[in-house]
């Protein structure tokens, strides 16, 4: 992605109490086809952190075109992953994680 500006995105999600070990295990074993899909959509530097006191997950990533992320919910592998994760985190009716966008307040490259 040399020469192409990357957009930084951050959001939070809610993990169910007592599910942090399982959440981490599932992400340590992320499906290769899901990883390929995210990379194909331009996702880079994707990190998820846990606040162990509140069970809030903080995620950050970089992407070339944020609109490319809008295509992911229509893809079968994305829906399978969301259904797989629905028992460990707060989700919408379609099993997608409930996400709250975060506003960037400071960035130091």
> Mind listing the pLDDT tens digit for each residue in 37-95?
999 999 999 999 999 999 999 999 999 999 999 999 999 999 999 999 999 999 999 99
* Identified catalytic residue from 27, 44, 71, 100: 27
| C-alpha triplet 19, 21, 25: angle, nearest 5° | 115
Note whether 99 and 11 are within 8 A (CB).
yes
**Residue of 80, 79, 27 lying closest to 49 (CA atoms):** 27
Label residue 4 by pLDDT band (50, 70, 90). low
Structure confidence at residue 5 (pLDDT): 80
What is the per-residue pLDDT for 43?
Answer: 97
Instruction: Please check the confidence at residue 1 and state whether its pLDDT lies above 90.
Output: no
Given the candidates 3.30.70.100, 1.10.10.60, 3.40.50.720, 3.40.50.300, the CATH classification of the domain at 7-99 is: 3.30.70.100
Question: 27 an active-site residue?
Answer: yes
CA–CA separation, 71 and 49 (whole Å) = 25
Residue with tokens 């996400």: 99
Domain boundaries, the chain: 7-99
State the pTM of this model.
0.90
Q: Helices H, strands E: what count in the chain?
A: 3, 4
* Phi-psi category of residue 61: left, alpha or beta, with phi > 0 → left and psi -120 to 50 → alpha: beta
């Amino acid at each position: 992605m040399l020469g192409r500006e990357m957009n930084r995105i951050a959001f939070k999600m809610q993990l169910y109490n007592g599910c942090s070990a399982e959440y981490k295990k599932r992400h340590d074993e992320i499906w290769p086809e899901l990883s390929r899909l995210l990379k194909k959509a331009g996702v880079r530097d994707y990190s998820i952190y846990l606040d162990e006191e509140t069970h809030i997950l903080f995620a950050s990533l970089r992407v070339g075109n944020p609109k490319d992320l809008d295509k992911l919910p229509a893809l079968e592998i994305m829906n399978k992953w969301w259904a797989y994760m629905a028992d460990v985190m707060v989700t919408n009716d379609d099993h997608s994680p409930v996400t709250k966008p975060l506003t960037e307040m400071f960035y130091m490259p």
